[in-house]
């Protein structure tokens, strides 16, 4: 860390008070973990990195809660698509078993059934985390929706949270 770096609050931009393994913002009246702390009045950073959706779907609910809203939206889009294709497979195996009147596809059908239940629960989790963040569950998430979201995110982070006090100083000096 360079010595002119100031540790600041990601929400209001105030300088932080260092505590044992934590930081404290007087203005927000809240503790902050080291990973939340910003430097030089920067705004909250939202991760916009590429990530493998499959791997992320295996994360636990507390882990998912720490993802950015954009990541959650991308994951939800993926989970919904996966669910549709699993449902399709489930039906294919079911029909094949009924048609052939055999137990041949039973194992595949059961396997798909478990996968289907798992992806459905993941989808519920993602929808509920997003509902807490946004106040609603996005109905349809398209590539276009995500692209526009990303565009807004890139626009949002431009200005550091510094309050210029110049005018007050001018008044004090009587000019």
Nearer to Zn ion, 12 or 81 (CB): 12
Q: Find the part of the chain contacting Zn ion (CB under 5 A) among 7-15, 52-60, 98-106, 132-140.
A: 7-15
Residue 27 interacts with Zn ion (CB under 5 A): yes or no? yes
Residue 9 interacts with Zn ion (CB under 5 A): yes or no? yes
Report the 10 Å Cβ neighbour count for 83: 17
Nearer to Zn ion, 27 or 145 (CB): 27
Q: Which of 12, 65, 134, 137 lies at the binding interface for Zn ion (CB under 5 A)?
A: 12
d(CA 29, CA 37): 14
Which residues are CB-neighbours of 74 under 8 A, at least 6 positions away? 51, 53, 146
d(CA 14, CA 105): 62
- C-beta of residue 48 within 8 angstroms of C-beta of residue 150: yes
Residue 124 interacts with Zn ion (CB under 5 A): yes or no? no
d(CA 71, CA 147): 12
Q: Which of 7, 15, 22, 28 lies at the binding interface for Zn ion (CB under 5 A)?
A: 28
Q: Which of 23, 25, 119, 125 lies at the binding interface for Zn ion (CB under 5 A)?
A: 25
HEC letters along 70-87? HHHHHHHHHHHHHHHHHH
Residue 65 interacts with Zn ion (CB under 5 A): yes or no? no
Q: Which of 11, 70, 87, 149 lies at the binding interface for Zn ion (CB under 5 A)?
A: 11
Binding site for Zn ion (CB under 5 A): 9, 11-12, 14, 25, 27-28
């Amino acid at each position: 860390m360079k010595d002119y770096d100031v540790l600041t609050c990601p929400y209001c931009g105030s300088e932080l008070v260092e505590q044992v393994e934590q930081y404290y913002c007087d203005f927000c009246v809240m503790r902050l973990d080291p990973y939340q702390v910003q430097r030089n009045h920067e705004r909250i950073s939202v991760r916009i990195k590429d990530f493998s959706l499959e791997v992320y779907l295996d994360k636990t609910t507390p882990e998912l809660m720490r993802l950015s809203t954009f990541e959650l939206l991308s994951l939800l889009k993926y989970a919904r698509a996966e669910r549709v294709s699993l449902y399709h497979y489930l039906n294919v195996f079911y029909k094949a078993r009924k048609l052939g009147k055999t137990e041949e596809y039973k194992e595949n059908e059961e396997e798909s059934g478990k996968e289907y239940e798992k992806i459905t629960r993941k989808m519920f989790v993602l929808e509920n985390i997003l509902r807490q963040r946004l106040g609603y569950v996005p109905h349809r998430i398209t590539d276009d929706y995500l692209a526009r979201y990303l565009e807004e995110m890139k626009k949002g982070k431009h200005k550091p949270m510094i309050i210029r006090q110049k005018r007050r100083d001018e008044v004090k000096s009587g000019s």
